[in-house]
Amino acid sequence: MDLLNTLVDKGLRREPLSRAEALAVLGTSDDDLLDVVAAAGKVRRHWFGRRVKLNYLVNLKSGLCPEDCSYCSQRLGSTAGILKYTWLKPDEASKAAAAGLAGGAKRVCLVASGRGPTDRDVDRVAGTIKAIKEENEGVEVCACLGLLSDGQAERLREAGADAYNHNLNTSESTYGEITTTHTYADRVDTVQKAHAAGLSACSGLIAGMGETDEDLVDVVFSLRELDPDSVPVNFLIPFEGTPLAKEWNLTPQRCLRILAMVRFVCPDVEVRIAGGREVHLRTMQPLALHLANSIFLGDYLTSEGQAGKADLEMIADAGFEVEGADQVTLPEHRAAGGGCGSHESAGCGAHEGGGCGSHDSGGGCGSHEGGGVCGSAATTSSTAAPQAGEARTDLVAVRRRGAGTDLAPNA
């Protein structure tokens, strides 16, 4: 396809895509899907080789969030049967992080539900960052605590945080349909605060909430302008007990096209497959590694993920390798602060420093943060495809192990 040849050339040169080109990727047919993956895979390998960065989530404070984000299991009014607990102590959080690092993760994402941290909360997290870094030399730490007030990003940076995650989630035009207790502009402001403080900015999206192709392109282009180092791509988990419980709008093919579009728009940025990969990509997860260069290891914030051992086997079987702690994730020009575009104003198009990105909490990290993000290994073997308008409680397993419990974590 002439389109794909053009997109590969632009990706290798870090030349920004047009909106029409990004929409065309989402509009390709299933017959062309492998060609799309192969083309985007060339761009991925050019900038990141066959390395896969592993990230590990630690849910520092679970549930009871005052925000009303429709996708989140920790939201105000959620009846999801998730774990609920207050702040973990620094030694508890450090112990949880150690499990993920032992499994091969090089970044720990510290997430807490809520609108945003108080100054006292920042002090708590600073103590946790110190405990983790004292026990694990060279570890990267990303904080995901919600909306930041003036000066808080600087304090987190001084405490040793490397990155801050706060997702845009969806387009500005549809944001008010998803959340009413804060605005899209609030989220943009927090990403900018992280940037200004010298933190590596991590910001992404959630697909599958009923948005249009235009909405997806809008949010990815907005991310490109914000120029984060890492972009987590979450796929909605319709968690029972939340307003979006029956929104099963994604297929594995659709997910792959979305990841390919993000890779083409942000060719030299860390693209992370975050919440929902097990549930929506299912047996096609290995193909997604040709598009994204980063994933979460093990469980998510309030839901179970694929077994950590299975993640490692999948990476090896697909012909990829786990990125080592001594390897720099981003290409040299980005790691050196050279910006993402071939033109300074191009933004992320020519973007994510690996923040959280799981997809659940209103103020949470970005792994769809707060919400019960992924499925367990058992869910990936489900033979029945989810249908729109139908709740599928069998595809989402609530996390009952790891942080906040007495059981060993999945890593």
Q: What is the mean pLDDT of residues 207-211?
A: 96
Q: What is the mean pLDDT of the chain?
A: 87
> Cα 326 from chain centroid?
22
Query: pLDDT grade, residue 390 (50/70/90)?
Result: low
By C-alpha distance, which of 163, 155, 166, 99 is closest to 132? Answer: 99
- Alpha carbons 111 and 169: distance in angstroms, whole number: 16
> Per mean pLDDT, which range of 112-116, 188-192, 240-244, 310-314 is the poorest?
240-244
> pTM of this prediction?
0.89
pLDDT of res. 369: 44
pLDDT of res. 348: 40
Burial class (CB in 10 A: 0-12, 13-18, 19+), 67: buried
- Alpha carbons 190 and 192: distance in angstroms, whole number: 5
Query: pLDDT grade, residue 82 (50/70/90)?
Result: confident
Judge whether 202 is annotated as a binding position.
Answer: yes
Checking if the pLDDT of 270 tops 60, the result is: yes
**Sign of the torsion angle spanned by Cα atoms 65, 210, 289, 347:** negative
pLDDT of res. 388: 59
Q: What is the mean pLDDT of residues 200-207?
A: 97
Assigned token pair, 198? 């010298």
By C-alpha distance, which of 224, 238, 201 is closest to 388? Answer: 238
Give me the helix-helix angle, 2-13 and 252-265, nearest 10°: 50
Checking if the pLDDT of 83 tops 70, the result is: yes
pLDDT of res. 373: 35
Between these two residues, 237 and 82, which has the higher pLDDT value? Answer: 237
pLDDT tens-digit series, residues 40-61: 999 999 999 999 999 999 999 9
- Alpha carbons 1 and 105: distance in angstroms, whole number: 37
By C-alpha distance, which of 288, 189, 248 is closest to 391? Answer: 248
Of all residues in the chain, the percent with pLDDT exceeding 70 is: 85
By C-alpha distance, which of 283, 288, 207, 237 is closest to 394? Answer: 237
Q: What is the largest CA-CA distance in the chain?
A: 56
pLDDT of res. 386: 63
Query: pLDDT grade, residue 346 (50/70/90)?
Result: very low
Query: pLDDT grade, residue 336 (50/70/90)?
Result: confident
Task: Show which residues are catalytic.
Answer: 65, 69, 72, 109, 142, 202, 272
Query: pLDDT grade, residue 349 (50/70/90)?
Result: very low
pLDDT of res. 74: 72
pLDDT tens-digit series, residues 120-153: 999 999 999 999 999 998 999 999 999 999 999 9
Query: pLDDT grade, residue 393 (50/70/90)?
Result: low
Q: Counting every residue, how long is the chain? A: 411
Judge whether 266 is annotated as a binding position.
Answer: no
Domains parsed from the chain with CATH numbers: 2-395 (3.20.20.70)
Judge whether 272 is annotated as a binding position.
Answer: yes
> Cα 76 from chain centroid?
22
pLDDT tens-digit series, residues 231-241: 999 999 888 88
